[in-house]
Amino acid sequence: MTATLNVLVGLAMGLNLVALGSSRLPGLIRAVALQGAVLGVMPVLMHAMDWRVTLVAIATVAGKGLVIPTLLRRAMRAANIEREIDPFIGFVPSLLLGAGGTIAAVALAQALPLLPEHAGTLLVPGSLASVLTGFVLLIGRTKAISQVCGYLILENGIFLFGLLLIHATPLLVEAGILLDLTVGVFVIGIIVDRIQRAFDTLDTRKLTVLRE
């Protein structure tokens, strides 16, 4: 089971790099959606089969894999943008950063004191790498959609870390957290939509009116 899990985490880490390297927004959104779906499956793998876990998993997959990407795609189409042009951190440096970060995450995870049953999984390095990727996207991209994707990847990373605790935390809490995250991204999606309407663009370089 650990092997399956590791494959999935490895897939998620690879999707990080895809997200970092794709200059076209549809590709980015697709990578994020896929990562969300992959993550959604994991609790089912780790937990004993339970209707509640299944429900959570379905909700996750539906939210992260379908609803949010759809929202983002709609906004993207409305704003009539396809590409991330002239990002703050270029694609190649982003990729290098992401790759370096992934290696560093693996190294760091080796150094961290982990329980024996977690030491063999890629959960911690995958989580750290995703968080890092999320930050790179948040910091390095100029299109609001790309940033939202970055934020999603950041959350995915945290979700990965949360899987370490899946046996300890009560499901109610887990569900609440998931719900919050989903609603959060949903709200972000709405705001992106509104910004698109108010500013007629999703380029965050235009969103610097509020300043000292």
Neighbours of 100 (CB within 10 A): 11
Rg of the chain taking only CA atoms, in angstroms: 17
CB of 129 to other proteins, least distance (A): 13
- For other proteins, the binding residues in 136-175 under the rule CB under 8 A are 138-142, 144, 147, 151, 154-155, 157-158, 161-162, 164-165, 167-170, 173-174
Across the strands, what pairs with 83? 24
The residues, any chain, with a CB within 8 Å of residue 44's CB and separated by 6 or more, are: 53, 54, 57
- For other proteins, the binding residues in 43-102 under the rule CB under 8 A are 88
Q: Give CA–CA dist 44/209, Å, rounded.
A: 46
Which position among 3, 48, 49, 208 is part of the footprint of other proteins (CB under 8 A)?
208
User: Are 173 and 154 spatial neighbours (Cβ–Cβ below 8 Å)?
Assistant: no
Does residue 194 touch other proteins according to CB under 8 A? Answer: yes
Residues near other proteins (CB under 8 A) are 88, 112-115, 131, 135, 138-142, 144, 147, 151, 154-155, 157-158, 161-162, 164-165, 167-170, 173-174, 176-177, 180-181, 183-184, 187-188, 191-192, 194-195, 198-199, 204-205, 207-212
